[in-house]
Chains A and B, each alone.
Chain A
Amino acid sequence: MTDVFFTPKQLELQRKVKEFTEKHIIPVAREYDESGEYPEWVFKEAHKAGLNCLVIPEEYGGPGYDSLAVGLAVEEWGYGCAGFATGLSANGLASYPLAIAGTEKQKQLYYSRLVAGGKGCFALTEPGAGSDAGAVSTVAKLEGEEWVLNGTKCFATQGGYADIYVIFASTDLSKGAKGLSAFIVEREREGLAVGAVEHKMGIRASNTVELQLKNVRIPKDHLLGQEGEGMKIAIKTLDMARPIVAAMSVGVARRALDEAIKYVKTQLDAEGKSLAEHQSVGFKIADMATQIEAARLLVYHCLRLKDSGQPYSKEAAMAKMFATETAMKVTRDAVELMGSYGYSQDSIVEKLMRDAKITQIYEGTNQVQRIVISGQLLK
């Protein structure tokens, strides 16, 4: 879609990522879906192409793209494969806490690793703390000049391969969510271990792991923001990440629509008419396309609000919820339209449908999005 309101820099990134996706992702997406292996090489390619840490500002050696440009990029990755997209955008997610609360020194430390081709990981969720992030039971205790972290994190995206982490731990369990704090933890810190790898129904090319922390000692200055500000940092991070997940979902949905269109235009019915000539098919395609367009506009609108410094938390939740519901619905419609072929692994749409399901769950389930939206409207 051409949009006269995009800047040349945004369009340039979109073009670059589209090429990257066509070259490196689309041809191998099925293979990695089947094997469930982590395509570490793609990060090296992304690094070479200058796409490994899109959100890091220029003064720290990053490309300094604005949020809308990042959204356009992740949409293209999502078009290629949501598993790859989840991994490739994980550095963004893992960088946001620094943008929100990092000191100059912390940013230098953290960003320099990513700029050099390293990988980041944002670790908030725990077995007992999903939607209820305040229930985090990993603890951090100050001992002299060091924080000592103990606990277990789960569903950590890219956790098995990361070089640097943002890990949330409680500095005061009695305060619940208000006792949560955020820490920078480097991979080489003793006591940090990667546990079980999650085998998922979809986004199988992304790495999702358990992290174990046993007496992990980090310097005092690795605390992000103040003690007790963890929840605030987590919420702001998720606000920033939601339109990006939404953009990825738009990409997934677009792919499903393109595949469905290709199919119905080339397949014939028993009378030799193309399926596309059937009104029921045409209307279904129209519905799919309209929902995608609406989702995409919610995403772009939200990212423009963010880039212009206006509040966007409600819009982020709306975009995330609507775009991910759209991805689920549109991928499902594509499988339905394509029958046995769509259900088989001869086509890509069955994978798109499995991949789409996670978008309704991560970065806050769509139930959490409804809490955010209604909370703002009803306060």
Chain B
Amino acid sequence: MRYGLTEEQDLIKQSAREFAEEYIKPKAAEIDHNATHPAEIFTKLAEYDYLGLYFPEEYGGSNAGFLSFALIVEELAKYSGSVASILINHSAKAAYALNQWGTEEQKETYLPALIKGEKLGAFALNEVGAACGIGPNKVVATKQNDDSYVLSERKAYVANGGAADVYIILATTLSEGGKENLSAFIVEANTPGLTVGKITKTMGLRGCRFAEIVLEQVIVPADNRLGYEGLGAKIISETLDVASIAQGAQVVGIAQAALEETLRYSKERVQFGKPINTFPAIQNMLAEMAANIHLLRLGVYHAAQLVEKGDPFNLEAAIVKLNAARTGQSALIDAIQVQGGYGYSEEMVVSRLFRDINGCILKDSSHEFPEQKIAAEILV
């Protein structure tokens, strides 16, 4: 199916597919099995200019637009959901926030290194508990003087955590009226007091580990605050919207890979004297997967274009999130169903895709249903 992409976008997608075939496909099972950050693949992503694809040229980016970035995520995710997650957390979260709200000086300091792959970025939002800024271990940034803050306590489930060189850390700050709000800080991994705590095992996306980031009296210069005090909530919501479009592309890629595997299997698998793809029950499942993936892909491309143009995209991002969750889960539940006991085996790729896809559709906070965000937009 054609999606009205430009010639350049088609080429970018094609080259990402070839890249993934060559460098990721042979390593995908190992990345999942080893459950460590695949540094050599990250370096390769940088060599191919994928890390800075949609960033301005002045920082070393390619300025190729957010849709091109989504296309790359989709292609990489077909072969390894973990690699796609690393890229999303690096480029669509950490680097996105820096580019969007950083001062000229902050951008010059960090973006080129992130784009060249000299540094890996992470967006440290989660804390133990349901949302950022409420739990017993919430990270607080206390203003010491006009020049610096002291950060303490713990971040949890930080993707790329432990491997990252630069963290965007969301922390609770006190406004002048004494009211708590959220602010974002750029903190390098080697800052004294910052240590990596527990590495948490996950169902899937195991090459993009979740780590706890422990902050003990970490002194952060005020110059490293991203945006003004209290801008944290806005940074969180916009960054997560952008990321959810990229995660939508990741779901499209994983689900597409599952569909292709299942098409192949159902053609080869013979039961009752004929290939199982001749049975309407199997055909219906395949057709539903294809139809859902198509709709999700259209939604992702559309939302990515809005980001690219600078148009509002929060409604569309929430719609992508809702559809990605539905499509992603049902596609993999059905893909394994068609492959039966074999699909359930660790040796079959669909079992990894099943574990991975559920990590692409996590809600950022348990009570934040995408339906509610959509309703908030359409009820105005």
Contacts and interface: CB of A to CB of B under 8 A. Distances in A.
Q: Do A and B assemble together? A: yes
Contacts of A366: 337
B365 interface: yes
Interface string B202-224: 11100000100000000000000
A58 to B, nearest CB: 35
B365 A201 contact: no
A365 B363 contact: no
Contacts of B341: 125, 130, 154-155, 361-362
A269 B130 contact: yes
Considering residues B203, B333, B354, B359, which has the most beta carbons from chain A within 10 angstroms of its beta carbon?
Answer: B203
Contact of B333 (A34, A128, A269, A357): A357
Interface in A174-219: 198-202
A339 B363 contact: yes
B372 A280 contact: yes
A275 interface: yes
A332 B344 contact: no
A276 B282 CA distance: 39
Interface stretch (B14-22, B74-82, B253-261, B345-353): B345-353
B366 A281 contact: yes
A275 B201 contact: no
Contacts of A269: 130-131, 134, 365, 367
Given A200-B344, A340-B157, A281 B202 contact: no
A343 B200 CA distance: 10
Interface stretch (A88-96, A236-244, A260-268): A260-268
A353 B130 contact: no
Nearest to A134: B272
Given A132-B272, A155-B341, A345-B202, A201 B351 contact: yes
A338 interface: yes
Interface string B353-367: 011001101111111
A344 B201 CA distance: 6
B354 A357 contact: yes
A346 interface: yes
Interface string A331-342: 010011111111
A47 interface: no
A267 B366 contact: yes
A328 interface: yes
A135 B276 CA distance: 14
B130 A339 contact: yes
Nearest to B351: A201
Contacts of B135: 268
B26 interface: no
Contacts of A112: none
Interface string A221-242: 0000000000000000000000
B169 interface: no
A202 B134 contact: no
Interface in B11-34: none
A264 B367 CA distance: 9
Contacts of B367: 269, 275, 278, 280-281
A27 interface: no
Contacts of A155: 341
Nearest to B132: A270
Contact of A263 (B200, B329, B364, B366): B366
B132 to A, nearest CB: 8
A335 B336 CA distance: 19
A370 interface: yes
A109 interface: no
Contact of A353 (B133, B203, B325, B345): B203
B130 A343 contact: no
B360 to A, nearest CB: 10
A358 interface: yes
Contacts of B351: 200-201
A5 to B, nearest CB: 34
A128 B275 CA distance: 12
A354 interface: yes
B48 interface: no
A88 B45 CA distance: 48
Contacts of A337: 366
A336 B325 contact: yes
Contacts of A341: 157
Given A200-B344, A269-B131, A270-B131, A264 B366 contact: yes
B355 A201 contact: yes
Contacts of A270: 131-134, 365
A261 B113 CA distance: 45
A201 B363 contact: no
Given A269-B367, A361-B341, A350 B202 contact: yes
B202 A130 contact: no
A343 B366 contact: no
B340 interface: yes
7 contacts: A201-B344, A339-B366, A343-B204, A353-B203, A357-B336, A361-B336, A367-B281
**Which 3 A-B residue pairs are closest in the complex by CB-CB distance?**
A267-B130, A132-B271, A350-B203
Interface of B: 126, 129-135, 156-157, 200-204, 210, 270-273, 281-282, 325, 329, 333, 336-337, 340-341, 343-347, 351, 354-355, 358-359, 361-367, 369, 371-372
Interface of A: 34, 125, 128-132, 135, 154-155, 198-202, 263-264, 267-270, 272, 275, 278, 280-281, 328, 332, 335-346, 350-351, 353-354, 357-358, 360-362, 365-367, 370
Given A200-B351, A270-B131, A361-B343, 12 more contacts: A34-B201, A155-B341, A198-B345, A201-B354, A201-B355, A263-B366, A267-B366, A275-B366, A338-B366, A339-B366, A361-B337, A365-B340
